[in-house]
Amino acid sequence: MFGGMAALTLLCAVTLQAQDQQALPKSYSGITVEISPQIFATMCALDAAGFDADESTLAEMPARLALRADLLKMQGPATDAVRQFYRDHAFADPGETLSRYMAFALAVGPPPQFRFLVNQDLLPPDVLSIGGFQQVLADFYREAHLAARWAAIEPEYAPAMVRYGPPVRRLVTITDAYLREVLKPSTGNTFTVYVEPLVGNHTTFRNLGDRYAIVVGTGSQLPLDDIRHAYLHFLLDPMILRNRQLLFGKAALLNIAARAPRLPVEYQTDFTAFTDECLIKAVELRLNNLSPEQLEAAMRDDDQSGFVLVRPFVQQLQKFEKAEPSMSYYFPDLLAGINVDAEEKRLQSVTFAASEVAAAPKQAAAVNQSTELQRSLDEGDRQIALQNAPAAAATFEAILQKYPDQPRALYGLAIASVLEGKAQQAKELFEKLVSPAPGTPVSQGLAEPMDPNVTAWSHVYLGRMDDLQGDRDSALGEYRAALAVDGAPESARVAAQRGVAAAYAPASRPADNGTQKP
């Protein structure tokens, strides 16, 4: 039986004395620190495409640094395809670009096929947004002889992997001890820390069914807080899911939390995910051994940010620390201890903090747009990524029935029309986006403000349509209008520059379609 956090700390310190200098074994109850040829190959493709990776992490990896320089100079059809794909799918934020490719690398199996590990309809939306990269990467892998390059460079990764071993083992031991959980490899659940120096300070965490994985870099400060947060998801997600029926009686609290401007949109209607995140935050606060003043300040900030279950979970965890059962068995009692009426009364005195993003009224309206609309738009984007034009068109048409002239829905329907071969309908929709008729919500600024991605790509499409009709002068006007859009994404600018240089002619393979999420 634990006697509070002090006893836990003493127990973990004794346990770690014999383990601290050891690297994490290959299999530690399904928990490993590894390197990945899939991630390596994906980063090599980004190297060749000119992605601005963090080379400062390669001081002790001269062969990998030399390889990066070689890849930048490579020539060949597969390399050209990689560069073209990267330009067509680049995002303004390099971190967002890297995150999507790392999510892809976590979702595929080993080279040279890079087969997806789950059915395509179960892939995360950020992976679907770079649909087609799988074959591009497979071709590049062969052309660049990455199998031989990986065999030569793999030993350089060993020190970075070993460096993570002791701190990850310590983190796992302390967390397991606090929750009093003993992991059983027979469950088949795995948690993997993948080390890739070139991701720098950026981390990517994903779970695909029973596989949890996080990609980390090798900076001077290891992202141990990020790893612990991911590991707590690995431990606690199954408990939350097993007890979903018990959550329903507390769901009224989400109606209050959802009004907080800082609460991320993904939690505003998903009480299961909201509860999960609040519990993880509460466990982190207890593991951090904060002073009473620090703990109160942290819980006050969570309340003001909308994570209103953190405080009651902390209170219940203090009782758990004095009990005997593991969290798996204690969890129903943890939930039962939360009094909804008392929490509703407490929250009447809580003032939610304003959004950290200083937004103009129109931007704030977009941020606070209904989650129903956001989810519908995301579903339409997903169908576009799957090249399912009829389903995408139906989704966007349904949105427009409820939200007339909603820009992203108009743009999505225009893309779906292109995919369906409905050129005239597509042209009318793109024209509506770049020149909204007087009196429409868009022209009056009453709908979502125009995204430069939508505007720029709409001009590009109109230019291509003019080229296909032989109207080169009009086409040039559209391409130049795309280049003049303030904040246009690089992919649209590249497409427009090509249009200015030469009249558009469809390639034999599917052309870029501007389907990256607006």
Q: pLDDT by residue (tens digit) across 294-346?
A: 999 999 999 999 999 999 999 999 999 999 999 999 999 999 999 999 999 99
Check: CB of residue 95 under 8 Å from CB of residue 102.
no
Give the separation between CA 13 and CA 171, rounded to whole angstroms: 11
Q: pLDDT by residue (tens digit) across 105-139?
A: 999 999 999 999 888 777 877 888 888 899 999 99
Percentage of residues in the chain having pLDDT higher than 90:
47
Q: pLDDT by residue (tens digit) across 356-399?
A: 554 444 444 444 444 577 778 877 877 776 678 888 899 899 88
**CATH code of domain 365-501:** 1.25.40.10
Quick check: 212 pLDDT over 50?
yes
Please tell me whether residue 194 adopts helix, strand or coil conformation: strand
Q: How confident is the model at residue 490 (pLDDT cuts 50, 70, 90)?
A: low
Give the separation between CA 115 and CA 261, rounded to whole angstroms: 40
Quick check: 89 pLDDT over 70?
yes
Q: Which range, of 175-179, 219-223, 262-266, 379-383, averages the lowest pLDDT?
A: 379-383
Phi-psi region of 181 (alpha: psi -120 to 50; beta: other; left: phi over 0): beta
Quick check: 179 pLDDT over 80?
yes
Going by C-alpha positions, the residue among 480, 462, 460 that lies closest to residue 471 is 462
Note if the pTM is more than 0.75.
Answer: no
Q: How confident is the model at residue 354 (pLDDT cuts 50, 70, 90)?
A: confident
Q: Lay out the sheet containing 190-195: strands in order across.
A: 31-34, 190-195, 211-216, 204-208
Check: CB of residue 428 under 8 Å from CB of residue 411.
no
Check: CB of residue 389 under 8 Å from CB of residue 419.
yes
Rounded to an integer, the average pLDDT of 64-85 is 92
The full set of domain ranges for the chain reads 5-11+27-215, 243-347, 365-501
Check: CB of residue 450 under 8 Å from CB of residue 491.
no
